[in-house]
A = this chain, B = another copy of it.
Amino acid sequence: MINEQNIRILLKNRPNGWPTEDDFEIEVSQIPSIKEGEILLETMWLSLDPYMRGRMNDAKSYADPVQIGAPMVGGAVAKVVESRSPMFVKNDIVEGRIGWQKYAVSSGIELRTVDKSLGPIQTAIGVLGMPGLTAYFGFLDVCEPRPGDIVVVSAASGAVGQVVGQIAKIMGCTVIGTAGSDEKIKFILDELGFDYGINYKSEDICESLDKFCPDGIDIYFDNVGGELTDAVMDRLRVGARISVCGQISQYNNSQLQLGPRNIGSLVRSQAKMEGFLVHAYSNKYPEGLDKMSKWIKEGKLKYKEDIVKGIENAPKTFIGMLNGENFGKTLIKVSDD
């Protein structure tokens, strides 16, 4: 550790539209020292998630923006390399909002110890962490699935979408996933057991929806927004439920769009569209984790990770993810286990 240095990825500029690598600064510095009550963390796994694009803007949202010059925010799994806190001992594995930095000082507050018996430690920021819990509550609580429901999931091979589709199958629904490559479609069909897949880049979405769900759609789990949402809104069945989880197709719009259009389709179908944040369910996280880790052990719930090594690759990997270049849950492997 003596010869090592810290690497932190700082927000340099607020992007106007698509971010570029120039919007990030890779800062090399000394490993910080800790005071009484603090711990020093070495990041092992960093999660990259679409919501981070929102934090780069200086705009009203459900969380504060990242300040210029500050490390990018993000969930990570880290090892305690030094502790002057009674809460943690050296070599503990923890998860929390550690940010894009190789070494970090923490008071230990808001960190949780990773339960290694549930799965590989990086699942604590994947299928058994925020993205998985988002899928679990955003689908089960907001969409209230019933056996036989026709479910459309966008970004179906992504961190959240892959879990939503599999839970929908566990619940007895018919599941249509959309993704941006034939490889991803093959994966959700062959590996995850989705019923149908639509490659939105090569297929006519409306035609494919009419083919796979001629009688309409009961549930739409929306990670993407944009044209797919347009197509789904026009095909809602009576009493449809739309869980608005993400709108990745819209995050890099430099001009703010105006409010909703074509809302009449909600009236025609007496449908409900609900935005949600996973934090609202924090008191039910243990239930969700319990259920999902059981499903994983029973082979009913699989997960796919897209792993890139080296924290210095976080900016370009993040930009690629916003462009759909990832395949599965995007993780940066910062340190070896």
A residues apposed to B, CB below 8 Å = 60-62, 222, 225, 227, 229-234, 238, 244-247, 250, 256-277, 280
Does B231 lie within 8 Å of A259, measured CB to CB?
A: yes
Indicate if the CB atoms of B230 and A258 lie closer than 8 Å.
yes
Q: Given contacts A264-B250, A267-B275, are A259 and B244 in contact (CB under 8 A)? A: no
Shortest A263–chain B CB gap in Å is: 5
- Find out whether the CB atom of B62 lies under 8 angstroms from the CB atom of A263: no
Question: Which of chain B's residues have a CB closer than 8 A to the CB of A244?
Answer: 263-264, 266-267
Is there an interface contact between A257 and B266, defined as CB atoms closer than 8 Å?
no
- How far is it, in angstroms, between the C-alpha of A266 and the C-alpha of B244 when the chains are bound? 7
23 CB contacts below 8 A, A to B, read A61-B268, A225-B263, A225-B264, A227-B259, A229-B259, A231-B259, A233-B260, A250-B262, A250-B264, A256-B262, A257-B261, A258-B262, A259-B261, A259-B265, A260-B261, A260-B262, A261-B261, A263-B275, A267-B275, A267-B276, A269-B275, A270-B274, A270-B280
Chain B nearest CB: distance from A228 CB in Å? 9
Residue on B nearest A275 in the bound complex, by CB? B266
Q: Which of B227, B257, B264 is within 8 Å of A247, CB to CB?
A: B264
A245: which B residues are within 8 A, CB to CB?
267
Cβ-neighbour of A259 out of B61, B234, B246, B269 (below 8 A): B234
When distances are taken between beta carbons in the complex, the residues of chain B under 8 Å from A256 are 262
Contact of A222 among B225, B263, B269 (CB under 8 A): B263
Residue of B at shortest CB range from A62?
B268
